[in-house]
Amino acid sequence: MVRLARDLDRRDFIRVVTAGMALMPTLGMSGLTRVVGPRRSRVALVRTSDRKLGVTAALKLLDLKRVKGRKVVIKPNFNSADDTPGSTHNDTLSQLVTELHGLNARGVTLGESSGPPQTRGVMEKKGTFDLARDFRFEVVDYEQITDNDWVTFPAAGTHWPQGFTLPRLVVDADYNVSTCCLKTHGFGGVFTMSLKLSVGLTPKSIRRTMHASPDMRRMIAELNTGYKPDLIVLDGVAAFTDGGPSRGELKAGNVMIAGDDRVAVDAVGVAMLKSLGANQAIMGRKIFEQEQIARAVDLNLGVASADAIDIVTGDAESKALADTLRGILAQG
């Protein structure tokens, strides 16, 4: 059985599991054993205004032994080329790639589809191609890949009327890394962190369907059933507490957050926005009642409640912030 499981085509396996997971909330519990999500998740938190130091310190708090010998695919936040938190900061990205090479990754590829601006133009403005040369990683523009380079997921059990599509590079990746920012979303998403990052993995044509739907936030969560990050790095050195995703009300967050559970990372991120004093869409709703998170919990994409999150720190200042965030998380 073990050998047969290893021989399964990874893409086909994920597609079958994804369809089953998406159907569970509509099928109910009769005759079906609900898959149990992770009982607890570790989230690393570092209090810092230095992004490079923050990435290094956060990763040291996590067990990243699986990186060794694997090909890594990074999904940044390159929705636009606007200053961080409008997009992933080059210091965050370059330090992350440096750490991955130091952990003996077999190779690193960055893949992205910006929007609405053209991806290549965003990358040129951000200096991504120069960064790729200097820090030894490949770059893939998902606007330029062929039809065969996409994997389609079924509509059944989702709010996607015709299903959705993700890059084969991500679905089949040895090791997926997501790097997101700390911010609100002024166009219906409410917040944009690790779950929302998945929208940049879709063809632009289907994004219009999502943005026009009253189920937008649920659809965001459903995209995440098609792949699983092995590492998420959330840069909260700067934050948008209103507006977003490209421009908004800017506040200093001075935090770096990391983990492998999208629900846990986003829950801690929303708690951080609450601690900074964000808009009513954030402040007026409990964290696990946010539709992105609630739907992700339904789909077993991560922890089911705040008390299953272990925030780990390495210094007194970080611990003090973690204690504040635990209090906010405890309120729901």
**pLDDT, tens digit, 9 for 90 and up, residues 95-149:** 999 999 999 999 999 999 999 999 999 999 999 999 999 999 999 999 999 999 9
Tokens matching residue 202: 């879709």
In this prediction, what percent of the chain has a pLDDT beyond 90? 85
**Start-to-end C-alpha separation, the chain:** 41
pLDDT score for 208: 86
Residue 41 predicted with pLDDT over 60: yes
> For the chain, what is the mean pLDDT?
91
For the ranges 35-39, 57-61, 281-285, the lowest mean pLDDT is seen at 35-39
Residue 16 predicted with pLDDT over 90: no
Give this prediction's pTM: 0.89
For the ranges 8-12, 42-46, 317-321, the lowest mean pLDDT is seen at 8-12
Residue 91 predicted with pLDDT over 80: yes
Q: Model confidence over 150-198: pLDDT tens digits?
A: 999 999 999 999 999 999 999 999 999 999 999 999 989 999 999 999 9
pLDDT band, residue 26 (cuts 50/70/90) = very low
pLDDT score for 3: 36
pLDDT score for 83: 98
- Give the mean pLDDT of 15-25: 46
Cα(325)–Cα(180) distance, integer angstroms: 19
Q: Model confidence over 221-258: pLDDT tens digits?
A: 999 999 999 999 999 999 999 999 999 999 999 999 99
